[in-house]
Each structure stands twice: as structure tokens, then as C-alpha cells.
Amino acid sequence: MRADATRNRLAVVRAAREVFAEQGLEAPLEEIARRADVGIATLYRRFPSRESLIAAALLEKIREYAAAARRALAASDPWDGFACLVRAICELQARDRGLGELLSMTLPASDEVERLRAEAQVDVAELVSRAQAAGRLRPDFVAEDLLLMLVANAAVARITRSDAPDAWQRFVGLILDAFQYTGGDSLPAAPSAAQMTRVRARLAADRGCGAVPLTGNASGYVETDLRIGSPG
């Protein structure tokens, strides 16, 4: 009985990983149950909410993201470290549609996802401040720029996936050039942290993820993306 439950849970998580990667986080749960060869009632018993299934399915990917941030810290050149992080995240996004979406939205997540995210956030903040201190990353770069880039890269990767699967690499090359400091003009103002929190909460809500608050601050909700530094 217990073994059966474990087997079912694993099958659902494996199927969810595949389906979210292919179709994104709003994929029908019925499709996941079908591929896992379990009834929809069994799926709901193991995962009472879409969020809990997303957290379980994407845990490994979030680990890869946290590991990429840690690896980037090891680069001796501060700009190389930052660029290496950006490329790694964008590649993870390009390979997995679900992760692409997850990185740009808020989600009430599991403790483990939250721990990994917090860990990565510290590393990303360090990479940013090192690259800025070295004069290589533009001084007006803020966390929200990385988030805009993630939203954009997710769209480029999704839309070109079948017909021009390497196009995202060109796009990331352009974006890295934009982030690099060359003494150029100042930019229009960045969106505020509070605005981008609402953007991400709305993305989660649009994908059927729980009662995400769409007004005020999203306190109580874990931010699974790349917010750097002070809370919004």
C-alpha cells in the first residue's frame, strides 16, 4: 500500500516534469495523470494544488539554477562570472518551458525550493556587486533588469524552439552586451520592485496557481526568481 503510494507519486512527478517542460505550467493536470497512468483523483490526493506539483516537479531544475549561481561565483573575472550566470539561467529556461515561466513568477513554494532560492539570491547579489565594482556591469543595472530579460528570453526561447532552436543564444549575447558598461547613455527608469512583484504574482495567477494576491505586496509568497538585495 505504502509502496504503491510512493510509486504513484514518483510517476506523477516524472510525468509533470515532462509535461511542464513541453507545455508550460498551465498544462492540463489530466494530461499529467494520463502520462503517469494514474487517475486524476490520485494525482489530487498526492498534490492538492498545482503549486505543490510544480514545486515537486521543478525542484531539480531549481537545484541546477542554484548550482549555476554557485559555479559562476568561482570565475576569477567578475564580468565572466556574471555573464556565465546569465547564460546558464537562460539555457535552463530555453530547455524547459515550465522553468522558464517559474523563474519569472512568484509562487507559494515548498521549504526546499525557498531554501535553494534564498541561497541562489545571495550568490546572484554577490555576482552583481562584484561585476559592478569592477566597472564591467553597468552601474544603473538593477535586479528588475534581470527579470525583464528573463521574461523576454522565455518568450524568445518558446517561440523559436521548433524552428530556430539556437536563437535564444543570439538574444542572450545581445542582452549581455546591453548589460556591459561602456559609458553609454542613461536608460529610462526601471520598473520598481513592487511593480515587478505584482507582474510576477499575476503571471502565477494566470497559470492557475492559487490565490496569489494581486494588490499590495505579495507577502507570504515566496519569490522564486532572481530578486537581488533588499526586499521590495
Q: How many residues bind its own copies (CB under 8 A)?
A: 44
Binding of residue 199 to its own copies (CB under 8 A): yes
User: CA dist 88 to 52, 56, 138, Å?
Assistant: 25, 22, 20
Exposure string for 30-58, b = 16+ CB within 10 A, e = fewer: eebbeebebeeebbeebbeebbebbbbbb
Binding test (CB under 8 A) with its own copies, winner from 16, 131, 175, 228: 175
Cα 183 to Cα 78, 81, 131, 187: the distances in Å are 18, 21, 15, 12
The answer to whether 187 contacts its own copies (rule: CB under 8 A) is: yes
Q: What are phi and psi of 180, to 5 degrees?
A: -70, 140
Find the part of the chain contacting its own copies (CB under 8 A) among 33-41, 45-53, 158-166, 220-228.
158-166
Task: Answer yes or no whether residue 212 interacts with its own copies by CB under 8 A.
Answer: no
Of 5, 40, 112, 170, the one binding its own copies (CB under 8 A) is: 170
Smallest gap from residue 26 Cβ to its own copies (A):
14
Q: How far is the CB of 105 from its own copies (least distance, A)?
A: 10
Nearest to its own copies of 6, 192 (CB atom): 192
Amino acid letter, residue 120: A
Stretch of 57-65, 69-77, 118-126, 166-174 lying at the interface with its own copies (CB under 8 A): 166-174
Applying CB under 8 A, among 2, 139, 177, 220 the residue interacting with its own copies is: 177
Beta carbon nearer to its own copies, 34 or 87: 87
Choose between 26 and 119: whose C-beta lies nearer to its own copies.
Answer: 26
Whether residue 106 contacts residue 201, with contact meaning beta carbons closer than 8 Å, is answered with yes
Grid cell locating 218 = 505579495
> Which of the ranges 16-24, 57-65, 67-75, 193-201 carries the binding residues for its own copies, by CB under 8 A?
193-201
Contact residues for 70 (Cβ-Cβ < 8 A; gap 6+): 119, 120, 123
CA atoms within 13 A on the CB side of 82: 26
